[in-house]
Every structure is written in structure tokens, then in C-alpha cells.
Structure 1
Amino acid sequence: MPDTVKARYGIAEWYGREFTSLDAPQRKIYAEHALGETEAKPPACPFQPDQPPCSKKGGVCSMQRYEEGPNGRLGDSVGEPVIMCPRRFEADGLIYEWLAQAADFPIHETEVAKEVPFMRSTETNKPAGKIDMIVAHQDGDRLRWHGLEIQAVYFSGQGMESEFKTLRDDLEEPPPFPSANRRPDWRSSSAKRLMPQLQIKAPTVRRWGAKLAVAVDRPFFDAIGGPSTPPSHDVNEGDIIWLVTRLNRSHTGTWQLARDHWEVFTLEDSNTRLQAAETISRENFETALRSRLRPL
């Protein structure tokens, strides 16, 4: 892409629909839902088994970069979408079946449980933390299971309200170019959100003889180092089973969740990757410090 072409992140999927497939009247309806300007129920989430109304504020499932087209309109897409909503990972039960296969559970006998209490408050004795999903196999009195944490990506930059208002009021085609700069915040999504979850849950799950799996998308995984060479597929040699998905274009033009890569890491190696940062040299630190020093 030439340097002269402006590109920004915009909506890739909205309330379960591919954004560029929506016409202006449909975008207006969705924008009114996103802004809370209608009493109608939000559109159904097509990625969950019972397709309940979307529960994500704003309804944005994924985002991707777009070039700016003529007259400030939306141009060509750049790269692949980044998943913003954890429910997006539930499409077609793909990650549950994938984890069951990695764990060598019989698929037709595998069961799933959501948000299982994992910690309790010492003050109220009520649940104080949950594991997102449990994938399990029962064989008589024997119960085998693995936990699954799902991590979508946060974005930094201006909030989406201005974008929703623009889409509500704009009735032209194609859609308008994104109104503000936004970008995936890998740091908040990894070191600040996911890593503490793994540090809290993985040691206990490991002590109980189970594993903790993590579902992320490929842009997230690439941001923390990408696949190992060669990757380990031995679940007995690590603590965290990484299930890496991506959104591929289907023959109908929609985005479809697909398996991309999986491997097993120790908790320590996972933490190292999730930090996604290293200490700079003292010289560089003090150079930056001098530029910021001001009289008391």
C-alpha cells in the first residue's frame, strides 16, 4: 500500500453481519441500536447456539483496516479482521471441538459448561471469579476436563460513539471512511488482561491435573511472537493450550471463523510472550528522561 494512501481501522462485522454488505438504511438501524436510541431488542447474535440478542455494547464483532476511497468514502480493506467480541469465537462450536480433539476426548461424548465459578470471596462466600468455558468428558465416575479462556482484543483511541453517529446520519454509498484513528491495543489485551488471568488460574488447574486453553485470533497471536518453530502439540509438556483462529472470507463474501494454528506453552513461556515488551537500555532510558525533565 503506498504511503500516500490513508488507512484506518473501521468496523468489519456489526451485529453479526459483514459491514460492507449493509446498505445505508440498515446501517442507520444498527447505529440506533448501538447508540441506545431504540427500544427494540438488539439483533440476534448468530455466533451463539441459541442466538440470543447481542449483549455487546455497540455490537461490533470485529474491526479491520480500510483505505480511504474517493470523496472520503470507505475504500478497499487491508489485511484481516481483528476480533473484538469474545462471542465471535463461539461460532459453530469450532473452538470447543478443537480443544476436545487436542485433549483426545471423544467428540460425540464431549460436554461444555460456561462461566464455571473458580474463586469465591472470603468475605461474602460468593463466586469472585470464573473460568470462561469448560470442555469435559465424563466416563462413569471419571471426569476429565480442560478450562478455556477466550480473549478478544481491546482498541485504543477515540470511542465508537462518533462513528455510530456518523453512520446513523450518513445515507450515502459506499459507507463513510472511519471518522477517527483507532488501533488494536495488544498491550492491554495481553499483559494487562490475559496474563493475570493465566497467572491466577493456570497453577490451580495444573495442580488439579487439567490444562488451561486460550482462544485468540491470529493478529493477536502474531503480536505476541507468532508460532514457534517447531510448535509443540504435546499437551503433557506444557500448561497452556493456545488455539489460534482467524477470520477467512467464505465463498459468499462473509467472514468465517477458521482454525489457524495451535500449540502448547508452559505458563512461564506464555507470560513472557504476553508481556510483549522488554526493558530498554539505561542509555535510552536516560536520554528520554532528560528530554522530559523540567524545573521543580
Structure 2
Amino acid sequence: MPKQPIAEAFGFPIDNVSEEADRYRKLRLCPFNNRIPNCTKDKAQDPLGVCSIIDGDKLAITCPVRFRQDWLIAEDAARFFFPEEASWTSLAEIRLEDGEGKSAGNIDLVLVSYDSRGRILDFGSVEVQGVYISGNIRRPFEEFIADPIGYRTRGYEGKNYPRADYLSSSRKRLAPQIIYKGGIFHSWNKKIAVALHTAFFETLPLLKEVSKEEAEVAWFLYDLALDGESNRYRLTRHRTVYTKFEDALVQITRTNAGPVQSFVALLQEKLDEKLGESAPDAPTLKDMIEGKS
């Protein structure tokens, strides 16, 4: 197939020509347990039905709902949060408030364990993070939906070719989520699970790992494995990384500083330019105190 950026549209690879795939595209359906049957990404009336993109030789999950396939993330998180014999369920999109009653955002999933009378025994937070896209993914998506056969034949070479923006995804989304929402759960001594695809996690700083028993945060790393028989991707857990909360937060939010000499060289360059300008010398602080012009 010619080069193009879309891995999945409305849950199916673009070269899946089955009746089921065609039905999901025509009706704009989401097969991954969205809150309603339809895809609602970006715009409810005109959804951007791209679940994942092709980024180099890997796939990048761009829609957080994509992680809900078969509720694998809930099953994995429950094993981390609760004893094996616990009764539990998941609650989606739960509003979280800080100590002043202000909104700290919504929790993607909260898992709760309960007793035989339905009373809550314990709970934990599940944060799901897809990757931001740099470039324009809507244009190739609309070309595919308008003319699937032609798109498969010619591919896509338009301007602003879409790529995974891992840096923005971690700094602008993942880190703030962990700081604010994760910080509240940590203060309550509750565990946190974070669901990412493996390629995203590999762009983060190296995290100090601990045992499952010591862990306060579990990082569940998933990949999309192609099922050749159905020509569909299946969400599969690649591995789990267990960390302490504060250790992980420090590593993720820490900036890798470059050499100070490079910055000093830049300052020197700018200073040389300023001193070389023909503008009159600015008065010094001493001149102003002494009343000199």
C-alpha cells in the first residue's frame, strides 16, 4: 500500500474491506466502549475517527478510548489495586475536586471494590493517555472516508504530514495529569494506574522501578498486534512498570539540561550585538543616582 498515515479508522485498518468495517465507517461507530455507540473524537457531529496512526515503523495510539478494547486496562488495573478475590467494577469520567472545591479534571476510570452489601471498600485511579498529533490528520482522514478505494491506491503525500508528538503529549498532558489528579489520589494513599502505548513510554525519562508490592503507580504499556485472520488490531499488554509516585513525578517533570557553555555563548553573541549598536549608551544605575544624564 502507498505511504499514508492512518492505521485505524473507526476501529479498522484502512485496508479492511469487510462488511463490518464498512458499516462502522458509514455509521461512524466506535467499537472500543465509548460512552455512546458513536465515535465522538474532536467533534460529535463530525468525528475524527482515527484511532491510531502510522509513525515511522511503529503505530501510535492517538485516541484514549482505543485503550478500552475488551476492558483489558480495567482488568490489569484491578489486579494492581485489589486482592484477587475482590468484587470490583469501573466508573468512567468521574469529576475530581481539590481541597478548595475547584475542579481538578475528570478521572478517565475509577475502579472500586465493594462488599456483599455494595459498600465501597477501596478504589484506584486509571489515567489513559493517547499521543498528540503534529501536522494535519483530518485531511487524509476525510480523503479516505470520501474515496476509500482511491485513497488506498494513491496514498497520502499532503502538506503537514501527521506524526506523533510525544514531547507535547508528556509535557502538556501526561505530566499535569499526574501532578494534579495523581497528586490528590496519592495524598489519599490510593494507587494510580497509567495506560500508555509502549512507544510513548519509551520517550519518557528512565523511571526507577520497584516491586509490585512497593509500588504506588503502575505503568501499563500496550501495543497493537495485527490479527491477520480478522485484519484487525488487538490491544495487547507489552509489560508493566511499577514505580513510586514522587520518584516518577520528579523524573517526568525534570528537564534534561544542555551544557551551560552553549547558553553563555548565546548570551555573549546577543550582548556583542547590543554593544555594537549605534544607539547612545544607556545610563548606569550610578549615573541615575547621581543625577547624571
Match of 1:18 in 2: 13
Match of 2:185 in 1: 205
Is 1:63 aligned to residue 53 of structure 2?
yes
Deviation at 1:187, TM superposition (A): 1.5
Is 1:283 aligned to residue 226 of structure 2?
no
Judging by fraction of residues, say which structure has more strand.
1
Q: Is the 8 A contact 1:12 1:20 kept in 2?
A: no
When residues 100 and 170 of structure 1 are mapped into structure 2, their CA distance, relative to the original with a 3 A threshold, is closer
Match of 1:46 in 2: 31
Q: Using the alignment, how far apart are the partners of 1:271 and 1:8 within structure 2?
A: 38
Q: Is the 8 A contact 1:44 1:53 kept in 2?
A: yes
- TM-score after normalising by structure 1: 0.75
Q: Is the 8 A contact 2:81 2:191 kept in 1?
A: no
Q: Using the alignment, how far apart are the partners of 2:238 and 2:267 within structure 1?
A: 42
Deviation at 1:94, TM superposition (A): 0.2
Cα deviation digits, residues 107-142 of structure 1 (max 9, x gap): 7722000111211696xx685522111112112545
What is the DSSP-based 3-state SS (H/G/I as helix, E as strand, rest coil) of the residue aligned with 2:171?
A: helix
Deviation at 1:88, TM superposition (A): 0.2
Give percent identity, aligned residues only.
Answer: 26
Match of 1:37 in 2: none
Give the aligned residue type for 2:222.
Answer: T
What is the DSSP-based 3-state SS (H/G/I as helix, E as strand, rest coil) of the residue aligned with 1:18?
A: coil
Q: Using the alignment, how far apart are the partners of 1:204 and 1:287 within structure 2?
A: 43
Unpaired stretches in structure 1, ≥5 consecutive residues: 1-6, 31-39, 66-77
Q: CA RMSD in A?
A: 3.2
Q: Using the alignment, how far apart are the partners of 2:92 and 2:53 within structure 1?
A: 26
Give the aligned residue type for 2:226.
Answer: R
Give the aligned residue type for 2:97.
Answer: M
205-214 or 271-280, which deviates more: 271-280
Match of 2:201 in 1: 221
Give the aligned residue type for 2:51.
Answer: C
Match of 1:160 in 2: 137
Deviation at 1:176, TM superposition (A): 1.1
Is 1:103 aligned to residue 81 of structure 2?
yes
Unpaired stretches in structure 2, ≥5 consecutive residues: 43-47, 278-293
What is the DSSP-based 3-state SS (H/G/I as helix, E as strand, rest coil) of the residue aligned with 1:283?
A: helix
Q: Is the 8 A contact 1:121 1:128 kept in 2?
A: no
What is the DSSP-based 3-state SS (H/G/I as helix, E as strand, rest coil) of the residue aligned with 2:57?
A: strand
Q: Using the alignment, how far apart are the partners of 2:31 and 2:108 within structure 1?
A: 19
Match of 1:254 in 2: 232
- TM-score after normalising by structure 2: 0.75
Q: Is the 8 A contact 1:60 1:84 kept in 2?
A: yes
Cα deviation digits, residues 32-69 of structure 1 (max 9, x gap): xxxxxxxx8x521111177610111311100013xxxx
Deviation at 1:273, TM superposition (A): 3.9
The structure whose Rg is larger is 2
Give the aligned residue type for 1:199.
Answer: I
Q: Is the 8 A contact 1:100 1:135 kept in 2?
A: yes
Q: Is the 8 A contact 2:137 2:162 kept in 1?
A: no
Match of 2:220 in 1: 243
Give the aligned residue type for 2:49.
Answer: G
What is the DSSP-based 3-state SS (H/G/I as helix, E as strand, rest coil) of the residue aligned with 1:21?
A: coil
When residues 245 and 164 of structure 1 are mapped into structure 2, their CA distance, relative to the original with a 3 A threshold, is closer
When residues 283 and 126 of structure 1 are mapped into structure 2, their CA distance, relative to the original with a 3 A threshold, is closer
